[in-house]
Amino acid sequence: MGDNRLMIKVTVNDRLYELQVDPELRLVDLLRDELGLTGTKEGCGKGECGACTIIMNGKTVNSCMVLAFQADGSEILTIEGMGDGEELHPIQEAFIRQGAVQCGYCTPGMVLSAKAILDKNPNPSEEEIRKGISGNLCRCTGYQKIVDAIKDAAEVMGGGGDER
């Protein structure tokens, strides 16, 4: 360690970081251990559970499946970057409103996958939602409330009449 460190530049939640990273450091470790962004969770380390999902250059990725130095030059959004300061993002509000949060460990990844779904299609079908969250495991609620929350968020964000 030490000698082989690589210099990278990454933008995380609109903030530019210039960092020296160990080549064996994974992106999830960089975010959590070095940048203190512990909202990104690790559940399996093998891309199976999606708890470590972040949005990288506009696409969801498992941050346990990326080496930190591979993220050089990229733009990253983590759960800490959702919403606007104190204001929650409509997806986060919908998750609370629909009871889509139980133990909460899948929630950050789930919210980011939801964002990717709605960024691609503001009016997704139930099937598109289910496919969109198929890389995120939840062990508590089952998926129905999460699907409901994403539908709810789509309505709110699309300005549809349903105010609730």
For the sheet with 15-21, list strands across it: 15-21, 6-12, 75-77, 53-56, 59-62
The correct pick among 11, 70, 75, 151 for binding another protein (CB under 8 A) is 70
59 contributes a contact to another protein by CB under 8 A: yes
9 contributes a contact to another protein by CB under 8 A: no
Q: Under rule CB under 8 A, how many of the chain's residues touch another protein?
A: 71
Minimal distance, residue 90 CB to another protein, in Å: 11
Minimal distance, residue 120 CB to another protein, in Å: 10
CA-atom Rg of the chain in angstroms: 16
The correct pick among 11, 22, 143, 151 for binding another protein (CB under 8 A) is 22
26 contributes a contact to another protein by CB under 8 A: yes
148 contributes a contact to another protein by CB under 8 A: no
Terminal Cα distance for the chain, rounded: 55
Window 95 to 134, contacts with another protein (CB under 8 A): 95-97, 99, 101-108, 111, 113, 116, 131-132, 134
Q: Which residues of 99-134 are buried (b: 16+ CB within 10 A; e: fewer)?
A: ebbeeebbbbbbbbbbbbbbeeeeebeeeebeebbe
The correct pick among 12, 19, 35, 61 for binding another protein (CB under 8 A) is 61
Which amino acid does the sequence have at 137? Answer: L
41 contributes a contact to another protein by CB under 8 A: yes
Is the Cβ of residue 100 or residue 155 nearer to another protein in the bound state? 100
Written as one string, the DSSP assignment of 21-43 is: E-TT-BHHHIIIIIT--TTS--S
